[in-house]
Structure 1
C-alpha cells in the first residue's frame, strides 16, 4: 500500500500502549482528524484504563491519538506552527527534550511545573502553549484536513517522533512569559448581590458539559456564533459561583480549537461572550421552588383569550446547514434525551445488567463493546439493598478491570427496598396523573448530582396505575421522556413480561409510547430447552432510531456479564466445561422423559454415545460428554446404577439419574419447586398483579426455596427518609 492509503496511525496500534505506559493520558480522535471521538474531558482528570486503550488501538478505521496536556499527563506542550516560530523559540534557548514533528512545525514537550498552567495562544507569533485542560494530536497520527480546514490554511501530514528523550523542564524564558502574561479573558469580579448557594458541582458541571457538547456539534459557519453563546452561558454560571471560571474558559478554548477555530478568533469571541455573561449571573433553579405547592388558581376572566398557535419549526436554513447527528447514551441502543424500556423474565439478570450499564456510562467505558456517552449515572432500585449492590459492584468492577474507587462521584446508587410510597406518580379515579414526592425527590437528586443517566428498577414499584389502561401507561411513559429531556440525558426503566409470553406486561402503550425497548432473554433451543443457563442475549425489541431485532450476546461470569470475545483463555475453558455439563443434563432429562435408560458403562446404552446423537447435544462431541460425565459424577450432580422405572415385564430398569439438588436460595433448577410469591399487594382491587408467574411448580415432592426479592426491610409504619438516600444508609458504598 502507498502512504496515501496506509498512514502511521493506521499501522502502529502499539503506539497507544506505549504512550499510556509512558504516563500520558491518551484518548481517541476521529480518523485522520483533530476532533475528539469521545467525551474527552474525563481524560483530563484520569488516565485511561488498559481495556479502553486496547479497544481504541484495535478500532478500524484507525483513530488518531489525542494526548491530554497538563497535570494529568505531567507535561505542557509548546506548539511551534511554522519555521519562523521554530527559529524564534530556539534563538531564546530550547533544552533537549521530547519532540514531535507536526505537519507544519514542532511540538516540544516540557515538564509540568505544578499549579495551574493555562492554555495560551499567541505567546509569540505562531507559538501556542497547551497546558491544563488542553490537548495535542499525538505521535503516529495523521491529519487530513476537510475542505473547510484546508481553506483556513491547514495542511495534511503526519505527527512523528523526532526525539524520545526525557522531558525537560520549561526554559526560563518560557516560564517567565507564563508568569508575566496576563490571562486573555480574566473573570470579572462577582456582583456583590450574588451569593453562591453551594460549592461548584452537580448542576454547574452538567451545564458546562452540555454547552461544550453544543459547541462540538456546531455546524460549519455557526461555530464562532456558538462559541459566543456558550461563553456567555457559562460566564453567567461562573459569576454566580456555579462553576470555576478558569476551568470553563480552558475547556471552551480547547474545544473551539478542536473543531477548527483559529486562535485569534477564539480569543476575541471568548472575551466578548464571557464579558457579557459575567454581567448577568445565573444560578441553578431551586427544585423545591419548581415543584412546591401549586399556586392558587387565577381569577376567571370573562372571556378566555384565543390560544396561541402551535410552535412551528423554522426549516428555511435546513438546505444549507449541517444535519445534526443523532445522540446516544449507548451508541445505537439507548437514545439520548429519551426513555428506554428494558424487560426480561424474572432471574434473567436485568438488575445486574443495568448496574453494569450504569457503571460503564459513569466511567465512559464501552458497554459490551458499544461506545457510551460518559455521564454521572444514578441507579435507583426498589428490589435490592445496599449489601447486594456492594457485592454486585465489586464483581462488575473486577470484570471491567477498574478499581471500585473510580466510581466515586460518578456512579450513585439508591436503594428504596422495603419503602412504602415509592411510586413516581398517582392517578385519580378519572385517570389524571399527579407526580409524587418521590418523583420530586428524584428530580432533586438528578439536579444535585448532575446526573445525565437515570436507571429505575422497576415499574412494578414505581407505576401504581392500571397497566391495562392505555392513557395511564402513556402518561407515565411521557413522564419518563420528560425526565430524560429535563436532565439532558437518558432514562432507562425496567419491567416484567406478561404471563402470555409478550415481552411487556399490560397495555400495548408500553410498546407504543417509548421510542426504544430492549429485551433480555436466556436463549433456548427450538423446543424451549435452556442449554446454557449462563448465556444471555440483549435484543432491540423496538428501535425507532436503529435496526430492530439486533442482539448482543454475553454470559454471566463470576458475578458480572462478559462478552464471549472478552473472556480470558482460562475462562473460555471453564465456559465450555459448564456448557458441556448443561448439555449432558439436558440430554439426561430428555432420555428420562422418554423412559430410555442410559449407563456409564460402554455399550449400546453408553450415555455419552447416546447423547451425542440427540438434538439436545447441539454438536457437543462424545469425548466432551464423557469428560462432562466424570465431572458431574465428582460434583454429585448425577448418580449411577439407580432404579428408574419398571419395564412392561415388571423388571426394574437401572441407569444414570440426576441427583436431587439442594435448596439453593431460589435458582430455577429442575426438581426444585419455584412457585412464585403472592402478587404484590395493590390498593386498586381492579388492577391485575404485575408480578410475572414464572416456572410454576409441577413436582409436589420438590423442595421450596426461599424467595427474597420482595421481602421488605422496614415495617409498614416505618418513617420515610426525605429525598433519595444516595450512597449512604440506603445506597451502596
Structure 2
C-alpha cells in the first residue's frame, strides 16, 4: 500500500497536487472567478415562455378523466406493466388487447374501453403469440379470426429498437418508431402495447435523461394518436426481491403517470399465483390488488371460495391423506409427523393416489386430522428408541 508521500510524489509527476490533510488551502488561493456572479448571455431568437392564468379557463368545461382501463391505465398517456420474466406479463397484456379489440368491456376485475389495438412484439415470435391468442380467445368464447381490430407487429429481434441514444446524451426515435407512429395515424388505436422496454430501448437504463426521453417519445405518440400506451418491463433483481417491480433509474417510474406490477406469489399449498397491483397512479388511488390464478392458458381473478366449498375441498384432501396412509400401512411402510426422513405429507405427495395434491396441502390435511382425532402417533420398534409412526386412531 502506498503512503501519503508516495501518492503525492506520483501525482506530482503528472502535475496534479493533492490538498493537505491537516488544514484547508488558504482563502487567497481560490481563483477570482469562484466568487463572481454568474453571467447569463442572452440567446438570439430564444422562444418566449408561454404562460397561462386561471382566468383564461373561465367558462371552459373541465375535461373528464378518461381511462383505457378504469383506475389502472389512463387514456392518452403511458403506463408501465412490470413483472419478472416468465411471470405472465405478455399474457395479461394480450388479455387486455383482446378485451379492447373485441369490445368485451372488462379486463381482470375492471372495465375497459373499446377500439383498435396495436401489439408491438419485440420478444415473442408469431407462432408463440398465435398459441397464446388461441387460449385467450377460447377462454372468452371467441374465435381469433373474429379479432379484426387486433394488429400485431413481430419485430426482428436483431432490429427492434424504437429509441436509441445519440452522442450528445439524448435519445432519438428510430425509423421503426416512425413506422409505428405512421401505423397509429392510420389505425387510430385505443391501445398500443410494446413488449418490451428491454427489447426496444437502445440506451442506458440507469441514465435519467435516457429513461425520461424514451418514455416521452411514447407520451407524444399517445397524445398524438389519442390512445393509451402500455410498456412491458422487466424489473431489476432488487425490484423482484423487494416486490416494488422497479428497475434501472427511478425516472422510469417518475416519468409515467401509472405503473402496474405483476408479482408471482406462493400459495399455502405450495402452488403459485399472481397478484396484479397498481403501484403508481397519478389520477386515482394506488395500491389496489387483484389476485389471479392460471386457468385454461390465461389468468382469471381468484374468487373467494364459500365456506361450503372450502369444507368440501378440505374433506377431499383429508380423505386422500387417509387413503395414502392406509396404503403405506398395508405395505408396512411407516411415516411420521415430524419433518425429515419418512415425513408423511412429502411421502404421500409422491404417490399416484395423492391426485396431484402438494405436500403443503397434505400437511394442512394432517393437522386437521390430528385435531379431529382421526389419526395419532403410536410407538413402534424397540421401546428404547422411542420411535413413533402415524396411524389411524382406533375407536374402542
Is residue 2:163 matched to residue 1:425? yes
Deviation string for 1:302-358 (max 9, x for gaps)?
x8335222242554444x555322000001100011100110011110011111111
Structural mapping, 1:148-547, within 5 Å: 304-312=44-52, 314-318=54-58, 322-365=61-104, 366-408=106-148, 410-416=149-155, 418-500=156-238, 501=241, 502-524=244-266, 531-533=270-272, 535-547=273-285
CA distance in 2, matches of 1:368, 1:551: 11
Deviation string for 1:363-404 (max 9, x for gaps)?
222111311111101111122111111111111111112232
Matching residue of 1:548: 286
Are the equivalent residues in 2 in contact too, given 1:352–1:392 (CA < 8 A)?
yes
Are the equivalent residues in 1 in contact too, given 2:317–2:362 (CA < 8 A)?
no
CA distance in 2, matches of 1:599, 1:452: 55
Displacement of 1:600: 7.6
Please state whether the residue corresponding to 1:451 is helix, strand or coil.
Answer: coil
CA distance in 2, matches of 1:509, 1:592: 52
CA distance in 2, matches of 1:327, 1:316: 23
Displacement of 1:440: 0.7
Matching residue of 1:63: none
Structure 2 CA distance for partners of 1:387 and 1:598, relative to 1, 3 Å: same
CA distance in 1, matches of 2:339, 2:75: 52
Please state whether the residue corresponding to 2:206 is helix, strand or coil.
Answer: coil
Displacement of 1:503: 0.8
Structure 2 CA distance for partners of 1:596 and 1:450, relative to 1, 3 Å: same
Are the equivalent residues in 2 in contact too, given 1:580–1:625 (CA < 8 A)?
no
Please state whether the residue corresponding to 2:266 is helix, strand or coil.
Answer: coil
Structure 2 CA distance for partners of 1:600 and 1:492, relative to 1, 3 Å: closer
Displacement of 1:466: 0.6
Are the equivalent residues in 1 in contact too, given 2:115–2:189 (CA < 8 A)?
yes
Are the equivalent residues in 1 in contact too, given 2:345–2:366 (CA < 8 A)?
no
Q: Which has the higher contact order (CA 8 A, sep 6+)?
A: 2
Structure 2 CA distance for partners of 1:492 and 1:619, relative to 1, 3 Å: farther
Is residue 2:311 matched to residue 1:561? no
Displacement of 1:594: 4.9
Structure 2 CA distance for partners of 1:600 and 1:593, relative to 1, 3 Å: closer
Are the equivalent residues in 2 in contact too, given 1:523–1:530 (CA < 8 A)?
no
Are the equivalent residues in 1 in contact too, given 2:83–2:245 (CA < 8 A)?
yes
Structure 1 length-normalised TM:
0.37
- Between Structure 1 and Structure 2, which shows a larger proportion of helix residues? 2
Please state whether the residue corresponding to 2:123 is helix, strand or coil.
Answer: coil
CA distance in 2, matches of 1:601, 1:472: 51
Structure 2 CA distance for partners of 1:400 and 1:431, relative to 1, 3 Å: same
Matching residue of 1:18: none
CA distance in 2, matches of 1:392, 1:424: 24
Structure 2 CA distance for partners of 1:425 and 1:599, relative to 1, 3 Å: closer
Structure 2 CA distance for partners of 1:580 and 1:397, relative to 1, 3 Å: farther
- In angstroms, what is the RMSD of aligned CA positions? 3.9
Structure 2 CA distance for partners of 1:323 and 1:498, relative to 1, 3 Å: same
Structure 2 length-normalised TM:
0.66
Matching residue of 2:340: 595
